Amino acid sequence: MRTLLSVLAVLCLAGTPVSAQIRRLPDGKPNLSGIWQAMNTANWDLEEHGARQGLVVALGAIGAEPGGPGVVEGEIPYLPAAKEKKKANFANRLTADPEVRCYLPGVPRATYMPHPFQILHSSKAIFFAYEYAGATRNIFLKDPGPPPADSWMGQSVGHWEKDTLVVDVTGLDERTWFDRAGNYHSDALHVIERYTPMGPDILSYEATIEDPKVFARPWKISMPLYRHVEKNARLMEFKCVEFVEDLLYGEFTKKGVK
């Protein structure tokens, strides 16, 4: 009976305009509140890629890297020197990827890591909380001016274009990467995100990336984000600093001192 009701619900929604399916706040804006997650392999590589052996051979299939069709429109337009650095990043990714050391992921990478994130949304405020490393973002709805300093998650200023939340992100730290494949940026990174409801539990996510020090032109990624609908859905703790203490500080511990 439950399966039949689910099928009937899907059929009913199929004939309903998307705008009528969107959950809304009292002011008419889409209500983006909920726990969301990307279901793709973008964190391994933004571009199309096949499955490959993991860097830690002893992990076997557990550590293998899954393939994926990519989320980039076309290919990433690296400048020649920057493309060589990307290749070097890929070759050294086991130790060079900031994710290995539990650094905050930056934008847009926080969106498509294999961890959910939560949007807390009212008529006056929008706040993003990420499971990975406890990262957070406050989306300013009034421009506070230039960022006072670069930071891992940058400064986010949002506005609405009809039902789309547009977030302008600046002041991003150059030490973050876009993925585990070594795709990177400089301190000139500028990201414009677009969150558009496609139904009650799906968002279309787009990010336009501009960095004249690294790329020949702006480029874009896009993907769906899915709302967790389990009754007990919530963010769990993934405070990964404690997982990498030996990696970061092992040489300073008693067992590392000879």
Note the pLDDT tens digit of each residue in 14-34.
566 777 789 999 999 999 999
Q: How many residues does the chain have?
A: 258
Whole-number average pLDDT of the chain: 91
Each residue's pLDDT tens digit, 56-73: 999 999 999 999 999 998
Identity of the amino acid at 24 = R
User: Which of 22-31, 68-77, 230-239, 244-253 shows the lowest mean pLDDT across its residues?
Assistant: 244-253
Mean pLDDT, range 30-54, rounded to an integer: 97
The pLDDT assigned to 5 comes to 46
The H helix count followed by the E strand count for the chain is 6, 9
Query: pLDDT tens digit string along 79-105?
Result: 999 999 999 999 999 999 999 999 999
Q: Is the pLDDT of residue 10 over 70?
A: no
Percent of the chain with pLDDT over 70: 90
* pTM (2 d.p.): 0.89
What amino acid is encoded at 115 in this protein?
A: H
- How many other C-beta atoms are found inside a 10 Å radius of the C-beta of residue 168? 17
Please report which helix (H) or strand (E) contains residue 227, including its range. strand 219-227
Report whether pLDDT(247) > 80: no
Band (pLDDT 50/70/90 cuts) for residue 245 is confident
Q: Using an 8 Å Cβ cutoff, are 223 and 38 in contact? A: yes
Burial class (CB in 10 A: 0-12, 13-18, 19+), 30: buried
**Cα separation, 193 vs 163, whole angstroms:** 14
Percentage of residues in the chain having pLDDT higher than 90: 83
Q: Give 57's DSSP letter.
A: G
Q: How many C-beta atoms surround the C-beta of residue 169 within 10 A?
A: 24
Query: Is the pLDDT at 50 greater than 90, yes or no?
Result: yes
Q: What H or E segment, with its residue span, contains residue 249?
A: helix 245-249
